[in-house]
Structure 1
Amino acid sequence: MLLEYGAESRLIEQLSSRLGIALGCTSIEISLIPSAIVLTTLIGDSSVTTTRRAHEQPINMSIVHQIVAICIAAEQNPRNIMMVERSLANIHANPYPAWLIVPIIGLSCAAFSHLQGADWPGFWITFLAASVGMMVRRELSSRKYSLLIVFAFTAFVCTLIGSLAFYHDLSSTGRIVLSSSVLLLVPGFPYINSMLDAFKGYISMGWGRWTQATLLTLMSSLGIMLAMGLLDIKGW
């Protein structure tokens, strides 16, 4: 779960080891790759090795925080396996409601456009483009589409709506609108995690996460270029 929801590799290793020891294991040995985890549990002279595949999930620090809390509770109440199993079964995502997250994302992108010098019509077009883009992203994600497809299609929609700035010269800062309306697709968290993993010695995890973030950036660029090609918009 930690691997699926975006925790950095050092945290995954430390929490697994701490939880295993709290539950009575001698030690925990763990090996990570971006798509799976191999874990060996040592109890005295016996050991059990298991491999679990990590399925693609959206980054969610709420779930990571809940797992950290479960680990701390297990250390305070050692060998209480039932408590740990019950707590893990009750983990929930705590998502922000759509009525809040959609306008907030739109406002953040619009505020950035304003900081870059967009006029007020450009500000509101950016707000509209980013808000609709976030709605599209949430809807596609809820239907379990690949993140690569979600990013490409969302970028396409954001660029199409942002191009309203060029319609009858509604805004004199159309290029700022186009660049600001797709900021919700910047994969900052995967890039940060990849650098942290690489600096802390998890080279394969760092490369894997960097590759994933680069692919997301590439697909976003593809959606932007497709929309600009259809509308015959020349550059930013």
Structure 2
Amino acid sequence: MLLEYGAESRLIEQLSSRLGIALGCTSIEISLIPSAIVLTTLIGDSSVTTTRRAHDQPINMSIVHQIVSLCILAEQNPRNVMLIERQIGNIHANPYPKWLLIPAIGLSCAAFSHLHGADWVGFWITFLASAVGMAVRMELSSRKYSMLIVFAFTAFVCTLIASLSLYHELSTTASIVFSSSVLLLVPGFPYINAMLDAFKGYISMGWGRWTQATLLTLMTSLGIMLAIGLLGVKGW
């Protein structure tokens, strides 16, 4: 769960070890790759090794925080396996409601465009493009599409709507509108995790997360290029 929901590798390793010891294990040995975890549990002279595949999930620090709290609870109640199993079953996401998240994303992208000099017409077009783009992204993600497809199609939709700024020259800052409307697709968290993993010695995890973030960036660029090619926009 930590790997799936975006925790850095050092945190995954530390929490696994702490939780195992709190539950009575001698030690925990763990090996991480971007798509799976290999875990060896040592209890006295016996050991059990298991591999668990990590599935793509949206980054969710709420779940990571709940697991950290669970580890602290296990250390305060050592060897209480039933309590920990019950608490693991209660871990759940706490997503923001769509009616709040969609306009908030639109407002943040529009505010960025205004800070970079967009006029007020451009501000509202950016708001509309990024809000609709976020709605599209959430809908496609809920249907379990690949994140690469989600990012490309969302970028395509955002750019199409942002092109309204060119209609009868509604906005004099169309280039700012185009660039600001797709900011919701910047994979900042994967890039940060990639750098943290690399600096802390988890080279394979760092490269894996860097590659994933780069692919998301490339697919976003592809969606933008398809849209501006379809629209015949020159110079942007």
Q: What TM-score results when the alignment is normalised by the length of structure 2?
A: 1.00
Report the Cα distance in structure 1 between the residues aligned to 2:204 and 2:177, rounded to whole angstroms.
Answer: 37
Question: C-alpha deviations, 1:7-56, integer Å up to 9, x for none?
Answer: 00000000000000000000000000000000000000000000000001
1:102 & 1:69 partners in 2: Cα distance? 29
Residue pairs, 1:181-220, within 5 angstroms: 181-220=181-220
**RMSD, matched Cα:** 0.4
CA distance in 1, matches of 2:157, 2:197: 33
Task: Specify the alignment match of 2:142 in structure 1.
Answer: 142
The runs of 5 or more residues in structure 1 that have no matched partner are none
Name the CA distance, whole Å, in 2 between partners of 1:126 and 1:82.
51
SS in structure 1 at match of 2:152: helix
Q: Distance in 1 between matches of 2:174 and 2:82?
A: 58
Q: Distance in 2 between matches of 1:67 and 1:169?
A: 52
User: What is the alpha-carbon distance in structure 1 between the residues aligned to residue 83 and residue 222 of structure 2?
Assistant: 48
Q: Residue type of the partner of 1:179?
A: S
Q: Which residue of 2 aligns with 1:72?
A: 72
Output one character per residue of 1:140-198: Cα deviation in whole Å (capped at 9) or x when no partner.
00000000000000000000000000000000000100000000000000000000000
The corresponding residue for 1:40 is 40
Letter in 2 for 1:206: G
Counterpart residue number, 1:151: 151
2:21 maps to 21
Partner Cα distance (1:192, 1:233) in 2 = 33
Within 1, Cα distance between the matches of 2:128 and 2:138? 15
The superposition leaves residues 88-109 of structure 1 with CA deviations (integer Å, 9 ceiling, x where unpaired) of 1111100000000000000000
1:4 and 2:7 correspond? no
Give aligned pairs, total. 236
| % same residue | 86
Match of 1:132 in 2: 132
Query: Where in structure 2 are there 5+ consecutive unaligned residues?
Result: none
Q: Which moved more, 1:226-235 or 1:15-24?
A: 226-235
Q: Distance in 2 between matches of 1:223 and 1:43?
A: 52
* Equivalence for 1:221: 221
For residue 235 of structure 1, report the CA deviation from its aligned partner.
3.5
Length-normalised TM-score, structure 1: 1.00
2:120 and 2:24 mapped to 1: Cα distance?
62
User: What is residue 98 of structure 2 aligned with on the other side?
Assistant: 98
Runs of 4+ that moved beyond 2 A: none
* SS of equivalent residue, structure 2 residue 122: helix
